[in-house]
Chains A and B, each alone.
Chain A
Amino acid sequence: MPLMTRYLAYVDRISEEVGKAISWLCLAMILVLIYEVSARYLFNSPTSWAHESTTMLYGSFCIIAGAYTHRHHGHVRSEVIYNLFPTRGKALLDVLTGMLGLLVFGVFFWITANYAWDSWLMREISSKSTWGPPVYPFKAMLPLAIALMMLQSLAHLLRDLAVLFDLQPHHPHIYSAESSTDNASS
């Protein structure tokens, strides 16, 4: 049990810190686009790189943020029927869907890791603009984000199993998965 508690605390930390760190990319996107708009209209010299680099920042920001959202239970779900079940019934449903989800993420990880690896091996260059940056680091964000998502999913699954089998927590932290869905602005 202490091992599991440590795992849970550790994974929550990772998702939290990575999510907080990655959120600053949003500010970087704003800066790049403001630079582009002012370069184009005020100085009449549009850049070749602004749109593509913002797209890369956007893609990396959002995909990595998935695990952070998951840690805060922010992925949209319908709880109309789910809420009719008692606590342990809910835990059983969560264990079933959680295991299925981990399996699918495993497949997803494998496919995207190959996809990114192929791109990396041939040093793939973007052909979308004259700028032509390397694409493989951007593609590598996919397996990385999925790996983070799997760690967080496993943490949720362990918590649900603890509820389902009524394990006495050695540490109250096991149950402290913040259930507040604080996306109060969606």
Chain B
Amino acid sequence: MLDLDPLMVTVGMFASMLLLLAMGAPLTWALLTVGTGSAYFMWGPNGLELMATSAFAAMDNFLLVALPMFIFMGLMLQRSGITDDLFDMIHKLMGGMPGGLGMGTVIICALIAAMAGVSGAATVSLGIIALPSMLSRGYDKRLCTGTIMAGGALGFLIPPSVLMIVYAFLARESVGKLFAAGLVPGLMLAGIYMCYIYIRAKMNPQLAPAIAVEERVDVFGKIGALKALILPGLLIGTVLGFIIMGITSPSEASAVGAAGSIVCAALYRTLNLKMLREALQGTAKLMGMLLWITIAAVFFSKIYIGLGAGSLITELVQDSSLSPYMVIIAMLACYFVLGMFLDDFAIVFITVPLFVPIVQELGFDTVWFAVLFILSMQSAYLTPPFGYNLFYMRSVAPPSVTIYDLYWAAIPFVFLQILGLALVVAYPQIALWLPNLIFG
């Protein structure tokens, strides 16, 4: 066995992993290769036994059952026609005011975020339904694409969120607490977006005109339109209520939601074998990726910690003269940079085992830090040039919307997100009020 300095181990392991990633190797491959190599050189063949136990530990975990359930639920709802129904409601309720369709789109995004655990669902389905409708009524293309992309990213923060479940698994945190902590900041951000659209529409009605008078409906039509909220309301209330109130485990609640999404599709008369197959296969594709990263990341961090390097970063932070808040800001800056190169799941698996012990050491609330992390991932999804939501939007937007339009569309919303992030840093109670209320 070689005796190596923890600093060398850290630099060696992370540098070789990043090199493999830069060469285009999938994250799973990079983590497994470096983990295997390090274990072999440090401990010989016996060190490799950890591979089997890490892999089995990731497979044999009831908490993670919620991941495929929520992903399936999102894929089903995306195909179920629920978005058409909600957009029809928004059109009747809010179409008559300047910016109404835009603000309504944010509301739909928040509702979809509360039903689906993944972020692409809202961006893609609203890009198909709401975008053509707004463009045909003279909305500014940058304002409406920006709204949909930013609203779509709310899926991370508003529970249920697949990313939060992974975070909870890695940081040994309660899923219920994280979900409760994401709710208020998520709604706050939705409110900020709506204010922004309202102000823009007030200042320049050309950007977001009200729909024509003959298209509007009377009061009774408006009340009747509210029935579109019944099914989503039931679904959201059941799933989140079960989890946050602790009636069932998150995994059981997720199965109830998944079954509910099938019922919804049946009620919207869109359920058929083809869509069910597509949703199941989409789930298989995503979960095949997620479980394999989990295995590789658990293995990698076990080796890393086993080599005695785990405490290195904590010690470095303690020795440095940085103030605790500066450390948090440095971590968030780190997320911002990583977000340009890696996707959210890659970042959560690499950084949580490193950062969360530091956050605890500094005496901060780890639930609060989880919300900050999710908020920065949300910005990463929107920040040009590599934000994922820009690509999702590009794939469904009409050709008249160029990629440069999307860059310009995203920028104001990135600033609004940074504003939201700053508010949660300055006032942790925004995130912590609800979980403290429920869990004491």
Residue ranges of A at the interface with B (Cβ–Cβ < 8 Å):
19-20, 22-24, 26-27, 29-30, 33-34, 36-37, 51-52, 54-56, 58-70, 72, 74-82, 90, 93-94, 96-97, 100-101, 104-105, 107-108, 111-112, 114-115, 138-139, 141-142, 182-186
17 A-B pairs within 8 Å (CB atoms) are namely A26-B283, A30-B259, A34-B255, A37-B248, A69-B285, A74-B285, A75-B28, A76-B27, A77-B25, A81-B24, A82-B23, A93-B24, A107-B48, A112-B51, A142-B52, A183-B289, A184-B120
Residues of B within 8 A of A80 (CB): 340-341, 386
Determine the distance from Cα of A108 to Cα of B60 in the docked complex, in whole angstroms. 18
> Which of B23, B284, B290, B392 is packed against the most chain A CB atoms within 10 Å?
B284
Which one of B33, B59, B78 contacts A141 once the chains associate, using CB atoms below 8 Å?
A: B59
**Taking beta carbons and an 8 Å cutoff, which residues of B are in contact with A?**
20-29, 32-33, 36, 48-49, 51-53, 55-56, 58-62, 64-65, 68-69, 71-72, 74-75, 78, 118-121, 124, 248, 251-252, 255-256, 258-259, 262, 277, 280-293, 295, 340-343, 345-346, 386, 388, 392, 395
Contacts of A24 in B (CB 8 A): 280
Taking CB atoms, residues of chain A closer than 8 Å to B71 are 185
Complex: A171 Cα to B44 Cα, angstroms: 45
Q: How far is the CA of A145 from the CA of B392 in the complex (A)?
A: 31
B57 smallest CB distance to A (angstroms): 10
B286 adjacent to A186 (CB under 8 Å)? yes
- Asked if A138 and B36 make an inter-chain contact with CB atoms under 8 angstroms apart, the answer reads no
Q: 8 tightest CB-CB pairs across the interface, nearest first?
A: A59-B59, A65-B288, A69-B288, A82-B24, A33-B255, A62-B291, A75-B26, A115-B52
Complex Cα gap A69–B27 (Å): 13
Assess A186 versus B25: contact at CB under 8 Å? Given A23-B283, A26-B72, A54-B62: no
Compute how far the CA of A144 lies from the CA of B154 in the bound complex, rounded to whole angstroms.
38
Q: Is the CB of A26 within 8 A of B280?
A: yes
* Cα(A142)–Cα(B33), bound, Å: 17
Most buried by A among B48, B59, B395: B59
Q: Inside 8 A of B255's CB, which chain A residues have their CB? A: 29-30, 33-34, 37, 54
Q: How far is the CA of A91 from the CA of B95 in the complex (A)?
A: 52
Give Cα distance in the complex from A61 to B51, angstroms. Answer: 19
